[in-house]
Structure 1
């Protein structure tokens, strides 16, 4: 296993289980199976509507809480200073936990007062309800403001990142601050598995195209990946991608792939630095 990343007092496993669009008994089973396989990083959010079953899976696992990393997120309509702590209390109740390891602003709101919102987020850390705080879907200017102007202890930025989307400016900034980038949609919503170029690299190494896409992320300093995987076979394959060593020829092929394919762009998203290709 690749060593976890240390960031602002927490240890962040470089492979996590994403749970977006996973619901009910199927979600609980997926989390239980992942934990049984050795996953120790589970990612959820209040908006996902699955915190309760994620919590049930954690409880059923009997894994020591100190050995497990749990991330959840506050939705963009709960960023007011009075609403944010209530949202976290609700998440903790549903998860059946007294704290999470990482609490993120899920999406920035267009009308939010960033310093005020961050102050409320920082207080949740001071109160022991989360061990660290961070951002998701922040642009580089937003992140700079949060860190350099507000002075918030941002432990990560969770953003879309995969072989078809360039994030070099963001990654460069995060590395300069020793802050991890957590990559969601690391398999490009299944498109990585359909890539002929990645399949050829995979054939050379005896692995799948999807495993190549994950290995490319693990090959990079400061990057964590949280692929959604409901089936045990997929969860195991994602774990096995840890041990795949890419060579320079592989990296050159991946570097030549299109890098402007953004797949997650809801109406409330900020204006991205990277052009959007539909």
Structure 2
């Protein structure tokens, strides 16, 4: 299970170059301890540089990365092995806290990729096994493929995509749900219920969305921002406790808004 102090992390998609290093470094110095990247993001080196540039002990950080996104070349065991090795090299780490299968395109991808990742956990260089953008059917297949639990499932989740089916499926497991795009890429600003609750609590809409996510057992949120002000603002979700009425109102939002929805994906 992801520790409580790691349940609000930093998504690093598009944080590249010197500006990316500075943003990630600033986030760590401000208190973020869960840093999420991916091979596809092209910024694992920047994440490693940012970690090196801080005074925070490596053991106090939780570093997650992902391999084998559907946009990557055809997956083979050899390709996945090489991709993992390259992630270690680019991050400059001898241990990865959480390694995800990024996004499969069909059963064959899962059957090829997941056992390779599970072997890396077994050999001690990866602490936790993760999957991303898996459906319930994918999770059932994963359970048949590997002889160890899935530690984390990363999917899009926010008040406009509440993932009730997945959360119900995970309820009796030790699998955490890690919510990417937790602000629906800005769409939460346009929801009257969120704005009303933000005004009531004296916090911005993003904090309401994040606080709602963190109120759910076993859910972690990884907002992405390149703004230092927003880094600080989002971190306030850890100290924002919405009351039962607020939570019920958000739970009752009846909208389905997906930011990431390939035409071929069957959710």
Contact 1:118 1:152 in 2 (8 A): no
- How many residues align structurally? 264
Query: In the alignment, which residue of structure 1 is the partner of 2:223?
Result: 227
Q: Give structure 2 stretches of 5+ with no counterpart.
A: none
Give the TM-score taking structure 2 as reference length. 0.93
1:164-201: CA deviations, max 9, x gaps? 01311111111210211000000000111232221111
> For the structure 1 residues 174 and 91, does the alpha-carbon distance in structure 2 shift closer, same or farther, using more than 3 Å as the test?
same
Query: In the alignment, which residue of structure 1 is the partner of 2:118?
Result: 122
| Counterparts of 1:265 and 1:38, CA distance in 2 | 32
By how many angstroms is 1:202 displaced? 0.9
Q: Kindly report the root-mean-square deviation, in angstroms, between the aligned alpha carbons of the 2 structures.
A: 1.8
| Counterparts of 1:221 and 1:270, CA distance in 2 | 27
SS in structure 2 at match of 1:75: strand
| Counterparts of 2:196 and 2:210, CA distance in 1 | 15
Query: In the alignment, which residue of structure 2 is the partner of 1:29?
Result: 22
The reply to whether residue 166 of structure 1 matches residue 159 of structure 2 is no
By how many angstroms is 1:109 displaced? 2.4
Q: Compare 99-108 and 150-159 and name the one that shifted more.
A: 150-159
Query: In the alignment, which residue of structure 1 is the partner of 2:265?
Result: 270
| Counterparts of 1:120 and 1:255, CA distance in 2 | 38
By how many angstroms is 1:148 displaced? 4.5
1:78-134: CA deviations, max 9, x gaps? 642111111011111111111210100000122625344222111111223311111
By how many angstroms is 1:209 displaced? 1.1
| Counterparts of 1:149 and 1:47, CA distance in 2 | 25
SS in structure 2 at match of 1:61: coil
